[in-house]
Amino acid sequence: MASYVSGGEFTRDTNYIDTRITADGRDGYPVEPGRYRLIVARACPWANRAIIVRRLLGLEDALSIGFCGPVHDQRSWTFDLDPGGVDPVLKIPRLQDAYFARIPDYPKGITVPAIVDVPTGAVVTNDFAAMTLDLSTEWGAYHRPGAPELYPEARRDEIDEVAHRIYTEINNGVYRAGFAGTQQAYEAAYDRLFSALDWVSERLTTQRYLVGDTLTEADVRLFTTLARFDPVYHGHFKCNRQKLTEFPVLWAYARDLFQTPGFGDTVDFAQIKQHYYVVHADLNPTRIVPKGPELASWLTPHGRETLGGRPFGDGTAPGPPRSDETVPAGHGAG
């Protein structure tokens, strides 16, 4: 059985295959429509970012997407949701096959999200932080008309600063609590996480979005952790000073984003719960997946419009998800 709990404080390996796909192709992988495939699992918060950004920018025709199932085995994510258990484009059953095509016997985590070069079948990058920024800044030629500016030049310093704190304290903070190996490490992680949630909550009291008055990359990054908070982190990771629904400002903010096209329509709560409660069997040896919490309240009015803000700036909302990329009925909030 894989072990997720570490001896003391959880530390994340942050070395990735960091080749970049760029407009000028300086790493050997130029942006090219139809050439690459984004591999995700809806369960994963880091992959969920890429699903949201691809959809907000309207990159569906330029960059195809493959979905791994919610549960991976000790070594690899698999394409168990696809007919025959094989990705229809890459023709592989396991994501590790694409990692090995790039680096034989790749020794580290076979992680999602990953972008694969379809002609060679090899992973180009699994650097999730650079990935979404590159979709904004390098793939501009293929954005839909009306695509929002998620990483506007004038706001980059502020976005980077807020996003860094969200990453270390919140996105990763929940894992630091959940995978802590000692009481002391857990309690320190818990305090650190909730003081950061108090910080974002305060920041969002008078402004609708984290940076400026439009949606940015910073909001995408916070959202994917908030969406998993009550279904998973509150119980499974013991992040239980409060539920998300007990933070008035953050809960309204999370519902506002959830109800914005491109956010909530990417969230598969059933897969999220299955992933964490089944994969981390050292935390949950019975692998029983909780039935709750109730989710319909994600769709209730949030009242955040009174703060103003222009969600898509000078752009427009994306249309509905493609029929082959829709979250299955019963897996969302409805």
Ligand X SMILES: N[C@@H](CCC(=O)N[C@@H](CS)C(=O)NCC(=O)O)C(=O)O
Applying CB under 6 A, the residues found at the interface with ligand X are 12, 44-46, 109-112, 128
Amino acid 212 reads: G
* CB nearer to ligand X: pick between 12 and 164: 12
Active-site residue set: 44, 175
Residue 286's alpha-carbon distances to 278, 279, 289, in angstroms, are: 8, 11, 9
Which residues lie below 8 Å from residue 291, measured CB to CB, with a gap of 6+? none
Tell me how far, at minimum, the Cβ of 94 lies from ligand X, in Å.
12
CB of 111 to ligand X, least distance (A): 3
Q: What is the DSSP string of 25-54?
A: -TTS-B--TTTEEEEEETT-HHHHHHHHHH
Maximum CA pair distance of the chain?
54
Contacts of 176 (CB under 8 A, 6+ apart): 9, 10, 185, 189, 192, 193
DSSP state of 290: P
For the bound state, the minimum distance from the C-beta of residue 141 to ligand X, rounded and expressed in Å, comes to 27
Q: Name the closest residue to ligand X (Cβ).
A: 109
For residue 329, the one-letter residue type is: A
Shortest distance in whole angstroms from residue 56 CB to ligand X: 20
Of 48 and 214, CB closest to ligand X: 48
Nearer to ligand X, 96 or 216 (CB): 96
Report the residue number, 124 or 147, with the smaller CB distance to ligand X.
124
Cα torsion for 141, 145, 147, 152, to the nearest 10°?
60
